[in-house]
Structure 1
């Protein structure tokens, strides 16, 4: 499939001599690597990085072609391929028939009807978060990412597993160790054997064993009691029990749950972290969110129907995800040769589409670095291509948890801003750290104040 009838061109880019320098930059500053290449070479470019060549496409039409129109020609790419050694064959890293089966098993648990029924669980976890934060009023800084991780894991436990993940207090740190290993696999292109006792690899192996123990305990508890037999845990237990080899079934179940919990909690925690940071820098926006939340919610906890009234809060979340999309990179590998936007893509090529750079393209976003929730309010100019904004990905691999993520982010942000104001710590710069999601380096320490 091609996007043009003109003769295909070779993508511009630096010579192979730059490969080592670019590999070092990828390890040090992946966002600068992407942004710099696009700024210098345009919407399509080719970068030699280590022993690989990356094909970068940064136009909505090109993203649409790779992610949707010709999606069958592209499988998961650099980063996710290498993360498989850390994450196994969960929904994030699997391919082909296995991925389709896994998606079919999990998808019903994320239907809009079921997600709407989970608003009470989200509100309950949001209330626990606000209570914890309220306990820090007048005291020293609190590491916000830890609090948000506890929130998002609690929500996933209640909504998808019918389980209390607060019973596993170390689970957030274990997921961090798994993510660190997955990104190490990317930065080294999986060239370092996992048996070498580097400190982070030792931490990863210990964390992996503990997470396997968590999965075993969750399964055992589910077998010992009745529950919602349509939640993700129940559906996965039924699906993996049909494997002819019980060991394969256990491995599949473990991989799916670890991947689901890692991706599910990390993306929403990152979105809320960036949103609260931006509100600290823009007090006039915080005030509008506070006033809207107070007017819609009063002094009660939110319900699903409140989403219709929290329109400005929703716009704030959408704009935060434009500037700092939780899924900042969508890597693919071309199965067969292709032509994208008139440029030749060879079979086996590593293809990258970056929501981070698409969302900051001045052709589609005036003053793209400015935080402006008005871009998403009713009546705003939306004359831009559909694929200029893809915070949850696009095409067949569109994020299965997008509805739950938005529900959680909007309701929890309203609850926080109604009661509290969070302020960054002077002298502690906020730096983006592009891992599996786009998180804030250092966990965003904040002080907590009453609204």
Structure 2
């Protein structure tokens, strides 16, 4: 017997805005409370929009697998002004065609070829560091991962001005999206408010830089191993169709956002957690000394860097790169045994699921050892989803995991990072989960085997 989800208990909402204020003021705390108090599916109203939070992993898997019944949410579709019709925002046949064309580009054997550049850029960065200096490690990770993604996309030392233009546009976009999220996207981007003008101007500058790089690549006539060249030469096996410049621009913008923002955030939270848990940091250093003995890591070392990998997994559990995302019911449908109306916003929160006491012992503890004995495979699908799941699982998952392990190994064997006492670190759940004011650390150069190359 099917039941209307809005017959289920949910948070009180006695005004016209429903739960908008609670969600806008503290989305992570509000959704966590809803999950603990109401269970597997929690109905709510966000202004005039019907919505629900789902925490049953079977429901999550159903929603993520059915890309036709559950499309990207309205809030996420706002990103099309930044990302166009890239893989992150496209729907239906358009998305399927792009995914089929791009999939071979992200084959693991291809992306393994970028490992050397990742390590080189990390070593160039830490060569400028000085013992005992204070740094904003989030800003450092953002710059580092942007350099890496620009190198892997364009296979060149991209002009510093172009890189800064892209970084500025993405930063403006993140702040703009967060402000719109707080307003439930009721103030449209075309309205001539100062933040909207800055947003459109930043996108225009980014477009100019990206199209210039695409044109330069076309004019060179060379087929190289960078991502742009591979996307440019990818051809649909059935139709022979290739991506035009607009489609390439959208994929490049998507790769730059997803390919540097998420990894930078994951590493930033990792440095914070390691600073808070010296015993974990000590075990990490012991593994790096044993496996690397002071030399630079390579992709061949990754299978031996098991604890390093577990540190990354546990960091992404507590501070997932994306903490909340939504789908919208494209038609009247069901989730499990519940009826869901067309237009309903279905909220899924990695923050909530990754910290759920039903699935994780000591859920708020930082315990990389919990990932021993294939915990990830033993968990129900839909519980641990830092890269999403279903047909739209992040295409760059292998790239991001390899990058995170290699960068952590490269930096941690040379430096210890300690968060400044009393520095306020506030998670900001925007498109990604950023530290709102960065993360200030004091760095300490390590001695002994971890310092010698």
Q: TM-score, normalised by structure 2?
A: 0.90
Q: Among residues 56, 62, 65, which one is paired with 1:65 in the alignment?
A: 62
Partner of 2:110: 114
- For 1:340 and 1:362, locate their aligned partners in 2 and report how far apart those are by CA, in whole Å: 23
Moved more, 403-412 or 373-382: 373-382
- For 2:400 and 2:337, locate their aligned partners in 1 and report how far apart those are by CA, in whole Å: 36
Q: Among residues 148, 151, 160, which one is paired with 1:158 in the alignment?
A: 151
Contact 2:316 2:386 in 1 (8 A): yes
Number of residue pairs matched by the alignment: 436
Q: Quote the offset at 1:347 in angstroms.
A: 2.2
Partner of 1:421: 416
Give yes or no for the alignment of 1:48 onto 2:42. Answer: no
Partner of 1:30: 27
Q: Quote the offset at 1:180 in angstroms.
A: 2.0
Partner of 2:450: none
- For 1:267 and 1:371, locate their aligned partners in 2 and report how far apart those are by CA, in whole Å: 20
**Alpha-carbon spacing, 1:142–1:98, altered in 2? closer, same or farther (3 Å):** same
**Alpha-carbon spacing, 1:218–1:51, altered in 2? closer, same or farther (3 Å):** same
Partner of 2:96: 100
What secondary structure does 2:288 align onto? helix
Partner of 2:280: 285
Partner of 1:243: none
Partner of 1:128: 124
Contact 2:331 2:343 in 1 (8 A): yes
**Equivalences for residues 216-227 of structure 1 within 5 A:** 216-225=211-220, 227=222
- For 2:247 and 2:429, locate their aligned partners in 1 and report how far apart those are by CA, in whole Å: 27
Q: Quote the offset at 1:311 in angstroms.
A: 0.3
Moved more, 172-181 or 229-238: 229-238
Partner of 2:176: 181
What secondary structure does 2:339 align onto? strand
- For 2:244 and 2:419, locate their aligned partners in 1 and report how far apart those are by CA, in whole Å: 46
- For 2:175 and 2:80, locate their aligned partners in 1 and report how far apart those are by CA, in whole Å: 13
**Alpha-carbon spacing, 1:51–1:83, altered in 2? closer, same or farther (3 Å):** farther
- For 2:350 and 2:202, locate their aligned partners in 1 and report how far apart those are by CA, in whole Å: 30
Contact 1:332 1:352 in 2 (8 A): yes
Partner of 1:138: 132
- For 1:174 and 1:422, locate their aligned partners in 2 and report how far apart those are by CA, in whole Å: 29
- For 1:381 and 1:231, locate their aligned partners in 2 and report how far apart those are by CA, in whole Å: 32
Q: Quote the offset at 1:105 in angstroms.
A: 2.5
Partner of 2:240: none
Q: Among residues 428, 442, 449, which one is paired with 1:447 in the alignment?
A: 442
Q: Quote the offset at 1:238 in angstroms.
A: 4.9
Unaligned runs of 5+ in 2: 236-242, 447-453
- For 2:22 and 2:406, locate their aligned partners in 1 and report how far apart those are by CA, in whole Å: 38
**Alpha-carbon spacing, 1:13–1:381, altered in 2? closer, same or farther (3 Å):** closer
Q: Quote the offset at 1:234 in angstroms.
A: 2.1
- For 2:416 and 2:268, locate their aligned partners in 1 and report how far apart those are by CA, in whole Å: 13
Partner of 2:70: 74
Q: Quote the offset at 1:268 in angstroms.
A: 0.4
Deviations 1:279-334 (A, max 9, x none): 00001111111121122122322111100110000000000111111122231111
Contact 2:150 2:158 in 1 (8 A): yes
Contact 1:183 1:435 in 2 (8 A): yes
Instruction: Kindly report the root-mean-square deviation, in angstroms, between the aligned alpha carbons of the 2 structures.
Output: 2.3
Give yes or no for the alignment of 1:258 onto 2:253. Answer: yes
- For 2:381 and 2:84, locate their aligned partners in 1 and report how far apart those are by CA, in whole Å: 33
Unaligned runs of 5+ in 1: 1-5, 241-247
What secondary structure does 1:266 align onto? helix
**Alpha-carbon spacing, 1:164–1:105, altered in 2? closer, same or farther (3 Å):** farther
- For 1:180 and 1:90, locate their aligned partners in 2 and report how far apart those are by CA, in whole Å: 21
Contact 1:156 1:264 in 2 (8 A): yes
- For 2:222 and 2:314, locate their aligned partners in 1 and report how far apart those are by CA, in whole Å: 38
- For 1:438 and 1:179, locate their aligned partners in 2 and report how far apart those are by CA, in whole Å: 10
- For 2:421 and 2:262, locate their aligned partners in 1 and report how far apart those are by CA, in whole Å: 26
**Alpha-carbon spacing, 1:143–1:19, altered in 2? closer, same or farther (3 Å):** farther
Q: Quote the offset at 1:165 in angstroms.
A: 3.8
Partner of 1:84: 80
Contact 1:392 1:399 in 2 (8 A): yes
**Alpha-carbon spacing, 1:115–1:251, altered in 2? closer, same or farther (3 Å):** closer
- For 2:208 and 2:372, locate their aligned partners in 1 and report how far apart those are by CA, in whole Å: 46
**Alpha-carbon spacing, 1:208–1:21, altered in 2? closer, same or farther (3 Å):** same
Q: Quote the offset at 1:20 in angstroms.
A: 2.2
**Alpha-carbon spacing, 1:22–1:218, altered in 2? closer, same or farther (3 Å):** same
Moved more, 416-425 or 21-30: 21-30
